[in-house]
Structure 1
C-alpha cells in the first residue's frame, strides 16, 4: 500500500479459490508486495454489484459469472492505516457486535435491531454470533420482502422472530464451520445451516457470507449479502417439501409412482433437489411422459437426474461447474448477470430449506440419457448426418419404440469419409438410407462389458451379421472402433463408432481375385488346402461353420517374385514349408488397423508364429519388416491387409505351432516402440 496514494485499484480476471498464489500473474505479486503489511484483497464485480472480501494478499486470475472483476486492497480484518506508514500497521479497538455491524455497512439492520429492543441485548457482554445483512442486501425484491416482515414485528414490547433468526448465543468463528453443519439461532430454537465449500466460500441457509470473522468484544459478526428468512425453512425432509408444495404435484406423483421417496430420506444424508414445476412437466407430451413413468429404469434415472447428494448453494457458483447427481449424469451449473442455470435451464431465485437439504424450482425437466430414446441420444450427441439418415429411412418410430436395441452410430467425420456421391444418394434415397441404418443396429441391449471376442450379432436388416471384436482396452465393430460406448437410453444402448460399416458379402478369395496382383498367394493357398483341408478356406463366408474372423496379411505377386528363385523353388517343392509360410500370414483374430495405437509393437499371433505389428502417427502400418500397402479390406471371412514382403516362418517373434488367445486377449502383448 503506497504511503500517500491510499488504496490501489487495478483490473484483474480472477478465480475464486483458497488464498494461494497459484495462477497469480507476476504483476499482481509485485503490486501486492508494494501494499505493505496486513493489506487484503477485495474483489468487486461492478456489472453484478457484488463484492468478495478475501482476507488474502494474492488472488488468482478469474472472471465471476462471465464478468470482469476489479481488485482493490483494504486493511485486513482488525487493522487500519497509520498516517505516514505503509500498509496497515494500526490495530483497531474492539467494539460490540452491534457497532461492528454498523461500521461494516449494516446500518439498516442495526437500526432494526435497535428499534426492536434487541440492540440493548447485543450491546451487553456475551458470546454472540451475528449474521448481519448489508444495506445493499435489502435492495433486491426478495430482500425488501424480508424487510417488510421485520417491520411487521416492530411493535412496542413485541419480539421479532426474523431478527432473532440472525443471532446465535454461541460464538462461531468460521474455523468451526464444517462442510455442512447446523447452529442454533435465538428464534424458537430454529437452526441455521452452514455450508462450507472447497473454494473457501461459505453460506448460511444458502446465503453467501461475504465478509466473515469480524471480531467483537462480545462475539463475532459475519456479513451476509441477503437477509435470512425463517419462512423459507420447512421442518420436513426435501421429499416432504415437494409433496406439500402445490407447485410440484407432478414431481411428487412421479416420486410416488417410482418408489423414489425412500431415496430422499436416508439417515445422515443431505440433498439438493432440483424440482421441475408442474408447468415444466406440461412441456413434455403426455404419451412420452407416461412411457417414462411406466418404465422403472427410465423413471428412476429421470428422478435421480434432479438430485445432488449434498447441499449446493447457488451463490457459491461463480463459473461453470459440474456436479455429480445421484444417478449417472453430471449436471452443468453456470451463472451470468441474469442468475444461475443448470444444463442451460434457468434456476428460479427462490428456494426452500428442508431438514436434510434444499429444494430449487426448475422451469424445465432435466431428461437424462437413460430416459431418452435412441434417436434423441443420436441428436444430443450432434450426430446430425446419421440422424438425418434415420429420418430419411423412415425409422424414427423404430428407434423411439419401447423395444431394446443396440445402435452403432458413426461420427460426423466418419460419414463424410464416404464417397460424396454415395452419401448424397443416401440422403435422398430412403431405401439406401434404410440399408445403411439397419446394418448399424441389432436387437437387444449389448454393453461393452458383454461383448465377446469374435461374437456375431444379427443386424436389424435380418440378413447380415455384425462381427464384434475385443481388442486391448477397446472394442471393434467390423473394421470400426467404438469411440464412446455404453450410452444407455430408454429403448437401448448407443455406441459411437469411428467408421461407417457395410455388410461384407464377398469372401476373401473373391475379393482378391478381382485384382490380378494376388494370383500367387491364391495359388499357394489352394495348394495348401489340397494337403491340409482343415486350413483356412478363402471361399467360405460367414454362413459356414468356418470362422469368419480371420486377418489375412496378403503379399502381392511382386513380393513373391522378390523372394528369389531359391525360395520360390522351395515353396513349390516343399508342401510342409509352404503350409507354414501361408499359415504365417493368417491370424484367427480379425484385427482392424484402427486397433493399433501409434509407436507400439503388438504381438499378433498367426496360425504359425507371432508377428510384430506397428503403426506410426501417420497411420502407416508395418508387419515385421513388411510395409502394409492397403489395409482394412473387409470380406466375409475377415479382414485383409496387403503387404509388400513375404513373412517367412523363421522371421516371426516366436516359434511353435498354433496360436495364443489373440490380439485382444492376455496372450497378445504390446511393447513400446522406442520411437
Structure 2
C-alpha cells in the first residue's frame, strides 16, 4: 500500500513540475509527453516556442498571448495516445529544412550549390531564416544572399557554423565562427529563454538532424554586419551627425571602436534638436559634460530589441541604471523610444532613439526641479534673481525642501519669500552646505556645517533612527543622494529655519513652564540647556502638571536638595533628539533618560505623540531649539529616584 501511495505521489510531482507553468484551464490540452506550446502575441505575428511546456506569460510587450499546442521537435501524435509518443527518424540538414517547411531557405541552399555539403557533411549548425524573413527581402538583398565572394565562398554560409551548437549551451555575449570566411556571429541568451543571433531572434530551436542542428530565426543574417565596428556604423549614418560631434568632444570614438560587446542607444539629430540651447551647447562644447552624456547612452553587453519582452534594468558606463521596456507602442529606454532597432556591428549593436538621455550628473538643480518636486524652491530663487546660487560655484550639498514642505509654512513667511530677495538668500544659504555630503556621511548625533566662508554660524543636527529615517535639522530626508552638476541634493519634508533660541530660552519665554524654569535654575541645569548645538530632548512638565501634585507631594518636591532635584529633572531629559519621524504610528520607541529610567514614545495614526503610553504631548509638532527638541506634557514623569513625587492625573 505504501509503495502505491509513493508511486502516485511521484507521478503527481512529475505532472505538477511539467505543467505548473501553464494556467489550470490550459493544462488539459498539454497532457502527455513531448507536447510543446507556442505563445503568439495577439495582434502581431510574433511567436514564442518552448522546448517543452514553458513559463506562462499572460502578456508580452503589454499585449495578451494566445496558446497553441503541437508536438515537440522529432515527435508526432499516435492515434489513441495522449501527448506525442511517436518518434520521427532523424534526417539530414537539407531534409530537416524541408520538413520544417522552410521552402524559401531550402531554395537558397539549392541555388547556392551547397545542398550536397549540407546533406552529407558536418556536423553543422544552420541558422535558418523563416519564410517571412526571406520574403521581406528586397531583390538586391535576395541576390546578395545567393551570391559568392571573389574566392567562391557562398554568402549563405554566414548562416552555417561548424559543430552542433545546442540551444541549451547558448550564453550571453558568445561568438561563434561560421563557414563564411571564418567570420563570427554573435549569439545572446536572455531571460525567459529568448536568444538572438546577430539580433535575429531564435523562434524555434534544436531541430535535430543526422549531421547537425537547425535553429529557425526571424531575420536574414548579413556578413556585412560583422565587417564594421560600432564607431564606423555611427559615422556612416547621417542621422547621427550630432551624436558624432559629441563623441569627438568626449574623446570616446575609440570606445566604440575597440571595446567589445556594447549596446549604444544613439540619439538622432531630431533628438538633439529637442534639447534646450544651453544644454546642447554644453554637450557639444564641454568635454566633461559630453563624456558623462555619452557614457549614459552606452551599456556593457549586447541587448538586442528582442532582449526585452517585459522590462529589465541596464547599467550604463556612467554607473547609473536605465529601464529598458517593451510596451504596446514600442520599445523604450528611459524616456526615449527606439526609432530604429538592431543596427548590428562587429562589437555590439546600436539603437536609434528619439530623445537624448541626460544623466543627473550634468543637470543643474534648476533642470531637476520637476523630477525632485522642488519647483517652489527654484521659483523663489528665480524671482529673487538668485538661481545662480543653485547652478554656479564649487561643489555643494543642497537640502532641498519639497513643494509640500513650503505649503506647510505660514502664509506670511511665504509672502516674504515672494517679495523679499534677502529672505530668499538667507533661506538658500541655510540649506546649502559646502562639499558633497552623501547619506553615508550623515551620522547620527553629529552636526553638518555650512563652511568656513558662510555667514551663517548655525549647525544642522543629524539624527538617524532604527526605522531607517535620516533627519537633518528636524526635517526627514525623503530622497537622498541625487547627484547634479554642482553637487548632491537631498530632498526634505520641511523648510529649515534656523532656531535662534535654546531649550532654556524656550522654557523662559513660555509662561506655562515657569515652575519648570525655577526648578531647572535651582538644580543648576540652566547652562547645559542653554549651550547651543546640543542633542537634547526635553520632556517639559507644564505648570498644570505641578499643580496636579497632592499637598504632601508638593512638600516633598519643595524639600528636594539641588542634587536630588537635578536627578529628578534629568528623568525628563534625554541625551539624544527624539523626533516623530523616528518612530512610526503604533510602534514603541524606548530610550533611557539622563537619570537612567526609560522614556517610552508612541504615536497614534493621527500624529499625536504620547509619553510612557499615557501622557499626551500638548502640541502637534515638535518644538525645535538650537540644541534639541522640547515636548510639553501636563504630567510629571514618575522617577525611581523619588517615588513619592508623581502626577495624580
Q: Deviations over 1:592-617 (max 9, x none)?
A: 22122456554535443363333346
Is 1:642 aligned to residue 637 of structure 2?
A: no
SS at match of 1:220: strand
Cα RMSD between the aligned structures?
Answer: 3.4
Is 1:494 aligned to residue 489 of structure 2?
A: yes
Q: 1:91 aligns with which of 87, 90, 97?
A: 87
Judging changes above 3 Å, is the alpha-carbon distance between structure 1 residues 116 and 589 closer, same or farther for their aligned structure 2 residues?
A: same
CA shift, 1:632, in A, is 0.9
Give me the whole-angstrom Cα distance separating, in 1, the residues matched to 2:249 and 2:149: 51
Is 1:173 aligned to residue 166 of structure 2?
A: yes
Give me the whole-angstrom Cα distance separating, in 1, the residues matched to 2:154 and 2:239: 27
TM alignment of 1:3-402, pairs within 5 A = 24-33=22-31, 36-139=32-135, 143-145=136-138, 148-152=140-144, 154=146, 159=152, 161-234=154-227, 236=229, 238=230, 242=234, 248=240, 250-251=242-243, 253-255=245-247, 257-258=249-250, 260=252, 270-285=261-276, 287-291=278-282, 298-402=289-393
CA shift, 1:577, in A, is 1.3
Could you tell me which residue of structure 2 aligns to residue 3 of structure 1? none
Q: 2:477 aligns with which of 482, 487, 493?
A: 482
Task: Verify the 8 A CA contact 1:132 1:166 in the aligned structure 2.
Answer: yes
Judging changes above 3 Å, is the alpha-carbon distance between structure 1 residues 191 and 155 closer, same or farther for their aligned structure 2 residues?
A: closer
Give me the whole-angstrom Cα distance separating, in 2, the residues matched to 1:169 and 1:231: 20
TM alignment of 1:657-672, pairs within 5 A = none
Task: Verify the 8 A CA contact 2:240 2:267 in the aligned structure 1.
Answer: yes
Could you tell me which residue of structure 2 aligns to residue 558 of structure 1? 544
Give me the whole-angstrom Cα distance separating, in 2, the residues matched to 1:263 and 1:451: 37
Q: Report the count of equivalent residues.
A: 616
CA shift, 1:437, in A, is 5.1
Give me the whole-angstrom Cα distance separating, in 2, the residues matched to 1:75 and 1:55: 10
Task: Verify the 8 A CA contact 2:92 2:210 in the aligned structure 1.
Answer: yes
Give me the whole-angstrom Cα distance separating, in 2, the residues matched to 1:489 and 1:108: 55
Query: Could you tell which deviates more after superposition, 126-135 or 319-328?
Result: 319-328
Q: What is the TM-score when the length of structure 1 is the normalising length?
A: 0.81
CA shift, 1:552, in A, is 1.5
Is 1:593 aligned to residue 580 of structure 2?
A: yes
Give me the whole-angstrom Cα distance separating, in 2, the residues matched to 1:482 and 1:295: 33
Judging changes above 3 Å, is the alpha-carbon distance between structure 1 residues 611 and 161 closer, same or farther for their aligned structure 2 residues?
A: farther
Q: Deviations over 1:469-528 (max 9, x none)?
A: 131344222111112211111112110212333232344445445554222112212323
TM alignment of 1:622-637, pairs within 5 A = 622-624=610-612, 626-630=615-619, 631-637=621-627
CA shift, 1:553, in A, is 1.4
Q: What is the TM-score when the length of structure 2 is the normalising length?
A: 0.84
Could you tell me which residue of structure 2 aligns to residue 519 of structure 1? 514
Is 1:621 aligned to residue 609 of structure 2?
A: yes
Task: Verify the 8 A CA contact 2:532 2:626 in the aligned structure 1.
Answer: no
Task: Verify the 8 A CA contact 1:351 1:358 in the aligned structure 2.
Answer: yes
Give me the whole-angstrom Cα distance separating, in 2, the residues matched to 1:370 and 1:234: 36
Query: Could you tell which deviates more after superposition, 49-58 or 287-296?
Result: 287-296
Judging changes above 3 Å, is the alpha-carbon distance between structure 1 residues 426 and 345 closer, same or farther for their aligned structure 2 residues?
A: farther
The gaps in structure 1 that reach 5 residues or longer are 1-18, 538-544, 653-675
Judging changes above 3 Å, is the alpha-carbon distance between structure 1 residues 153 and 564 closer, same or farther for their aligned structure 2 residues?
A: closer
Q: Deviations over 1:383-418 (max 9, x none)?
A: 444444444444434323354332222344444445
The gaps in structure 2 that reach 5 residues or longer are 1-16, 643-649
Judging changes above 3 Å, is the alpha-carbon distance between structure 1 residues 155 and 637 closer, same or farther for their aligned structure 2 residues?
A: closer
Judging changes above 3 Å, is the alpha-carbon distance between structure 1 residues 173 and 485 closer, same or farther for their aligned structure 2 residues?
A: same
Judging changes above 3 Å, is the alpha-carbon distance between structure 1 residues 303 and 565 closer, same or farther for their aligned structure 2 residues?
A: farther
SS at match of 1:165: helix
Q: Deviations over 1:43-72 (max 9, x none)?
A: 111312111111232542421111111111
Judging changes above 3 Å, is the alpha-carbon distance between structure 1 residues 75 and 262 closer, same or farther for their aligned structure 2 residues?
A: same
Give me the whole-angstrom Cα distance separating, in 2, the residues matched to 1:223 and 1:231: 21
Judging changes above 3 Å, is the alpha-carbon distance between structure 1 residues 585 and 295 closer, same or farther for their aligned structure 2 residues?
A: farther
CA shift, 1:225, in A, is 0.7
Is 1:568 aligned to residue 554 of structure 2?
A: yes
CA shift, 1:325, in A, is 2.0
Give me the whole-angstrom Cα distance separating, in 1, the residues matched to 2:245 and 2:563: 75
Could you tell me which residue of structure 2 aligns to residue 455 of structure 1? 447
Give me the whole-angstrom Cα distance separating, in 1, the residues matched to 2:70 and 2:121: 29
Task: Verify the 8 A CA contact 2:245 2:284 in the aligned structure 1.
Answer: no
Give me the whole-angstrom Cα distance separating, in 2, the residues matched to 1:206 and 1:623: 65
CA shift, 1:73, in A, is 0.8
Could you tell me which residue of structure 1 aligns to residue 8 of structure 2? none
SS at match of 2:368: helix
Judging changes above 3 Å, is the alpha-carbon distance between structure 1 residues 162 and 402 closer, same or farther for their aligned structure 2 residues?
A: farther
Give me the whole-angstrom Cα distance separating, in 1, the residues matched to 2:35 and 2:416: 68
Q: Deviations over 1:154-187 (max 9, x none)?
A: 4699856431111123221212222221111111
Query: Could you tell which deviates more after superposition, 563-572 or 205-214?
Result: 563-572
